[in-house]
Amino acid sequence: MSADNHAAEAHHDDHHDHDAHDDHDHGSFKSYMIGFVLSVILTAIPFALVMTGALPAQATALIVMAFAVVQIVVHMIYFLHMNTKSEGGWNMLALIFTIVIVFICLAGSLWVMHHLNTNMMPTHDMTQMVG
C-alpha cells in the first residue's frame, strides 16, 4: 500500500470514530425518555398547584416560574443536546448571551410596567366624587 492509501484509510478511521462520537452525543432512546418523563413531571406539578389553588397566588406564580426555568434546562440538555463541550463551547457562549438579553428584556419590561403603574393617575375613592 502506498502512503496515500494509509493516510486516506487513517482519515477514514478518524472520520468514522468522529461519527460514532456524534451519534452518542445526539441522544439515545433512554435519554429521550428521561427528558420526556422529566418534562411531564415538571408540567404536572405546576398544573396541579394552579388547579387546586393550594398555595397563595404569588407563591404559586413563583413556583410555576421556577419549574419553567428547570424545564428549559431539561429541554436544552435532553432534547437540544447542549453541553459545555458541544460545538467547541460556542453553544454555551450563545446560551449565556441569550440569557443575558432575555434577562435585560424581562427586567426592563417589569421596571417600566411598575413605574407606569405607580406614576399614572392616582386612584380616588369614586364614592366621594358622586354628589
Segment 36-50, tens digit of pLDDT: 999 999 999 999 999
- If you average pLDDT over residues 21-32, what whole number do you get? 70
Share of the chain above pLDDT 90, in %: 34
Checking if the pLDDT of 88 tops 90, the result is: no
Contact 70, 42 (CB under 8 A): yes
CB neighbour list of residue 53: distance below 8 Å, 6 or more residues apart:
60
Return the C-alpha cell found at 26: 445526539
Give DSSP secondary structure letters for 28-60. Answer: -HHHHHHHHHHHHHHHHHHHHHHHHT-S-HHHH
Look at residue 27 in the predicted model and tell me its pLDDT.
Answer: 76
Contact 77, 92 (CB under 8 A): no
Look at residue 40 in the predicted model and tell me its pLDDT.
Answer: 97
- If you average pLDDT over residues 32-61, what whole number do you get? 95
Domain ranges in the chain are 87-121
Look at residue 78 in the predicted model and tell me its pLDDT.
Answer: 92
Contact 39, 25 (CB under 8 A): no
Checking if the pLDDT of 73 tops 80, the result is: yes
Return the C-alpha cell found at 53: 389553588
